Amino acid sequence: MVKFLIDESVNYKLVKILRQKSIDVISVMENYPGITDQKVIELAINKRAIIITEDSDFGEWVFAHKIETIGVIYLRYRYDELINITNTLLKVISKYNENLYRKFIVIKPNKIRVINLL
């Protein structure tokens, strides 16, 4: 089963919704508040968890700095689009499941972009 590491940048309502759907999540806000992005990446690797974030810096870590990671889902939305983005995220998790590993996925309210990581 896929595990997700939810970055502090993510709206906590999303953590609650994922848990209600019995999705295995680790909340940085609850368990590791204040850790750096690099520590989030290390934790994700150690836990074999996909990072879910709203922080664009993870794209820079993965692509510009070539930092290896298990996978990243980057959410881009306005606060009033939370329900839409949550539903889209749930569809992505359901569709890709184990195939989420080694991917950088950008989810916007009306667009999903999947980039394979080498």
Query: What is the predicted pLDDT for the residue at 66?
Result: 65
State the total domains in the chain.
1
Left if phi > 0, otherwise alpha if psi is -120 to 50, otherwise beta: which for 46? alpha
Cα–Cα dist 76/9, whole Å: 11
Tens-digit pLDDT profile for the chain (118 aa)? 899 999 999 999 999 999 999 999 999 999 999 999 989 999 999 999 999 999 888 877 676 556 667 889 999 999 899 999 999 999 999 998 888 888 889 999 889 999 887 6
Range of the domain at 28: 4-116
Cα–Cα dist 32/39, whole Å: 9
Overall pTM surpassing 0.85 (yes/no):
yes
